[in-house]
Chain A
């Protein structure tokens, strides 16, 4: 009996110590994240203006205004369209990682560094460089290919430009994660497959890809969240309404009108989207795991 009490006390003590360790992070999350998210959600139901610094409850009026604004609807479409770059990026990252994982490529270390460079470079610097790469008149793409494509000015092309830049920017980071995942695959599995007569494609589809499932899952979550929050590319490279993303729209709205209530409503909507899509991804994955 005494021993059991002693054990219970020890467990409680351990729990307290553990709790103390996570307390700073918890406080940070509550103060700087949850409180602000809650405040944003509440302000989304008011007509709070940064100019008047006051507001009254207006119910769903801000949401109605947002969803009747064609520019906001266009920004939702643009955000989703730009996310088409995610699967393209995954595919290219996988090919790169697969190539750099084997022994057939010479100078692997060099290529790994080169492809990873965008991930550690300044977002601003990259934006400015791309601005010049895509420049209609003086850009290197148009000059080298001797073409006249309005990469930055033709409304039909600018989204493609942003997808190109996005894919390029995410290539290194995703490649590195997939590479790490591939190197974690037990070598004996591959040897066994080879002994069984599996060809490279079979090894890729039957062993490598399934075992990289958790890595792809993580990459999808992060990329989708990043995609829904896309801002900097449009801000730095184009600053155009043609490629307005949701966050850019809200930023622009805030700068021009100071209508904090409307912006909070929009931000709550984006936050809700991120939450629901992430939840959906977890559910789909859980169902997939259960089937397996």
Chain B
């Protein structure tokens, strides 16, 4: 009896193993192993998308697994050929390294060319070119396609509409035209005999207007924990990119951050604290920008499109705004210091000054691609799943409806995404809407580029700017107001800080991006 039982048990185990080993399962379906990362919300969304995919294409079954984002690439690269997933995430910031050095990704150009779903004219070029690489000429942005974009996440400025309204700000949406009544992003207008503070959410503010707006919406001093501060933080890179500044010269040989625009941009991000409208670095470390904004303790913050679902549970109304741009004189003459007192109002001449020539309202895009494993036995199926995630209409509609991303399809992004009155499946009961000013996201897509280190071999050079290995060259010295890079009074760059920093960044850049003094790869679209 015992023997028989053992025999049956062994047969069951062996049978199960054989069925599992078939890969296609019992029903003859093709199994696709898909590996990614994400928080619980993202995993829930992708589980739902996979369910939809399996219903639409019943011949496939998806085995979805994830790890944390930090260890993702190591987990991916640690796979043996037998355990490699058929489809996996490829961050745009690491694409160059993987395209150059590894053979993990399949060239999916033939699949894309043969696709009946994808119209190359209807997809954002920046999304696709991020995952194109020509192995013969080592050129990024042209040649074969190695991944399809999960999304193109523009960063925008978001604001607490309830606070704005309570502080007497009137919000209008007026497109740029010769006859427009409110030509400034933010300004004081004499209307009907009284001065009105009016924000036009279709026009980017200048730095001067932004500072005045922050002064106007802030509810108290910085050292009070109940104060609604003007802005949570101001990323130095955001400020720099809006000046039209670049990190490298045209040949990508030399680092060019030792310039006026960089000095003014970093100083602007630091001096918002001096001007009393942004928490100190210490306060920023205590409570991150998302926590501060969602808890209603900040009027303005900056956020990627993928993060906006975090705002739906807020008990206040919020909306999106274009990124501010520097004004012509970089706030020359504004010398207010909240620690010593004085007139905090920005001079009228600065408020009415135009944007600096060459400035542009932009910030970087975040993107991740879906790459097919080069040696997968189910390449057709894996590509099908990637294409479904990236370009299927239903999938894209679902993703934008739940606020995960702006559609990858131009016609959808510039059509129904802007106009649709959306139901809110996740937060319907709360009745909170997504931003009304959705066009900002589309505008940002047309202006923005991907993160600077997406175009280089790795991020070590960029990390050197963010947190230099030399104590005296850390940007923190500027943020803590111990080092001055730019003098607003005279409008001039100060000291040799940037010269020294640029030299260190150049060394880091050269060590990984050059061979015999020449850059090891090229860019089709810088």
Listed in ascending order, the chain A residues whose CB lies under 8 Å from chain B are 49-53, 69-71, 74, 135-139, 148, 150, 152-155, 241, 254-258
Contact = CB atoms under 8 A, between A and B. Distances in A.
A178 B505 CA distance: 51
B70 A255 contact: yes
A153 B282 contact: yes
Interface residues of A: mostly helix, strand, loop or mixed? Answer: loop
Nearest to B98: A51
B459 A256 contact: yes
Nearest to A257: B458
B101 A70 contact: no
A136 B285 contact: yes
B286 A138 contact: yes
A241 B225 CA distance: 27
13 contacts: A50-B74, A51-B94, A51-B102, A53-B77, A70-B469, A135-B286, A137-B286, A152-B282, A154-B282, A255-B70, A255-B73, A256-B458, A258-B74
B287 interface: yes
B469 A255 contact: no
Interface string B211-237: 000000000000001000000000000
B134 to A, nearest CB: 19
Interface residues of B: mostly helix, strand, loop or mixed? Answer: helix
Contacts, number: 64
B78 to A, nearest CB: 7
Contacts of A153: 281-282, 285-286
Contacts of B458: 256-257
A254 B70 CA distance: 10
A224 B283 CA distance: 34
A137 B225 contact: yes
Given A50-B77, A256-B460, A138 B225 contact: yes
B175 interface: no
Nearest to A241: B467
B71 interface: yes
A216 B11 CA distance: 57
Contact of B77 (A51, A74, A138): A51
A53 B77 CA distance: 8
Interface string B463-485: 10001011000001000000000
Given A135-B286, A136-B282, A153-B285, A256 B463 contact: yes
B93 to A, nearest CB: 10
Interface string B46-89: 00000000000000000000000011011001100000000000
A257 B450 CA distance: 19
A69 B74 contact: no
Contact of B101 (A52, A138, A139): A52
Contact of A69 (B78, B285, B469): B469
Interface residues on B, range: 20 to 34
A258 B459 contact: no
Contacts of A136: 282-283, 285-286
Contact of A150 (B94, B98, B282, B287): B282
B430 interface: no
B97 interface: yes
Contacts of A257: 458, 460
Nearest to B76: A50
A53 B104 CA distance: 10
- Chain A to chain B: the 10 pairs with minimum beta-carbon distance, closest first: A137-B286, A52-B101, A153-B282, A153-B285, A50-B77, A136-B286, A150-B282, A136-B282, A70-B469, A51-B101
B482 to A, nearest CB: 11
A136 to B, nearest CB: 4
A107 B77 CA distance: 55
A154 B463 CA distance: 20
B160 to A, nearest CB: 19
Given A74-B469, A153-B286, A255-B71, 6 more contacts: A50-B74, A69-B469, A136-B285, A137-B286, A255-B70, A258-B73
A136 B97 CA distance: 39
A212 to B, nearest CB: 41
Given A51-B98, A255-B74, A256-B460, A152 B285 contact: yes
A282 B469 CA distance: 37
Nearest to A139: B286
A70 B470 contact: yes
Nearest to B504: A70
A256 B466 CA distance: 14
B286 A50 contact: no
Contact of A49 (B101, B225, B281, B460): B101
Nearest to B285: A153
Contact of A137 (B73, B287, B459): B287
Nearest to A142: B286
A52 B94 CA distance: 12
